[in-house]
Amino acid sequence: MMKNDVDNTQGDTRLAIEVDDLRVIRGGRVVIPGLTMTVPIGQVTGLLGPSGCGKSTLMRAIVGVQRVASGEVRVLGRPAGSVELRRLVGYVTQAPSVYGDLTVRENLGFFASVLAAPPTDPDRVIAAVDLGTHADSRVDRLSGGQRAWASLAVALLGAPRVLVLDEPTVGLDPVLRRDLWRLFHELAADGVSVLVSSHVMDEAERCERLLLMREGGMLADESPAALLERTGAADVESAFLSIVDQAGAAA
């Protein structure tokens, strides 16, 4: 019964995430009317769009915690949220989901045992997110940025192949933001597929691939350079505007 036919159902093996005609309704409102997109393996993909455009909902659907109305979401060739993916997909929500009354190390120790990660893993990820000096501080005594790092550290436990990160850089100071992007690229170099959302367009240039989202739909899916070339815009923000204007003119 537990044996499953993963090989028969495997999609494109170069894709980390495939979303096909996804439709999501939240609270009676159509948040995503029918969205198709892919995320390649081993790259940092940026999911950009204004607040409320459906980025978080799309990410929740990819992780398998969002109830969807119709459509298909596959991660590493398996249906989103399936049992085999629960060790392979790391997910970080906008609000840090860690226990405030435990220390960073205790939080990581707990989640490591849930994931059956090696006992040395908490120390490894503490070093990766540079929280060494705060490892034994209670999370609720840390700054907002440090709490976000602690939450990110949990997602790095074990050996995730796909990381889904919802606005991880919000409110971080520029130095920390640079460090975070450096970490994403290091992870991608190790073959991890990183999907990062942001509502700040200037973060787009740090991604290898861009997904521009607006009102639950996908405006663009290409590399930052290709996007700028196609639209003739000087930066991603202007490119975004010119695509929205064109769509408006065509309609």
Partner 1 sequence: MSPRITFAIARRVLTQLRRDPRTVVLLLVVPCGLLTLLWWMFDGEDVIFNRFGPPLLALFPFIVMFLVTSVTTLRERSSGTLERLLSMPTGKADFLVGYALAFGSVALAQALLAVGLTVGLLGLDVSGPVWMLTVIAVLDAVLGTALGLFVSAFAQTEFQAVQFMPAVVLPQMLLCGLFVTRDALPPVLEAVSNVLPLSYAVDAMQRVTLDSGVSSEVRDLLVIAAFAVGALALGAATLRRRTA
Nearest distance from C-beta of residue 57 to partner 1, angstroms: 10
Nearest distance from C-beta of residue 179 to partner 1, angstroms: 23
Nearer to partner 1, 160 or 224 (CB): 160
Nearer to partner 1, 80 or 220 (CB): 80
Nearest distance from C-beta of residue 96 to partner 1, angstroms: 8
Minimal CA–CA distance to 129: which of 59, 90, 183, 60?
183
Minimal CA–CA distance to 221: which of 203, 202, 239, 234?
239
CA distances from 52 to 58, 65, 70, 235 (A): 11, 18, 20, 22
Nearest distance from C-beta of residue 17 to partner 1, angstroms: 15
Q: Which residues bind partner 1 (CB under 8 A)?
A: 26-27, 63-67, 81, 83, 86-87, 89, 91, 93, 95-102, 106, 110-111, 113-116, 138, 154
Nearest distance from C-beta of residue 32 to partner 1, angstroms: 13
Instruction: Enumerate residues 6+ apart whose C-beta is below 8 A from 82.
Output: 64
**One-letter amino acid identity for 66?**
Q
Nearer to partner 1, 62 or 219 (CB): 62
Nearest distance from C-beta of residue 6 to partner 1, angstroms: 17
Nearer to partner 1, 65 or 247 (CB): 65
Question: Is the separation of the CB atoms in 12 and 19 below 8 Å?
Answer: no
Minimal CA–CA distance to 247: which of 224, 218, 211?
218
Q: Cα(236)–Cα(136) distance, rounded to whole angstroms?
A: 41
List, in sequence order, every residue forming a beta bridge with 163; answer none if it has no partner: 90, 194
Nearer to partner 1, 85 or 219 (CB): 85
Question: Is the separation of the CB atoms in 193 and 138 below 8 Å?
Answer: no
Nearer to partner 1, 24 or 212 (CB): 24
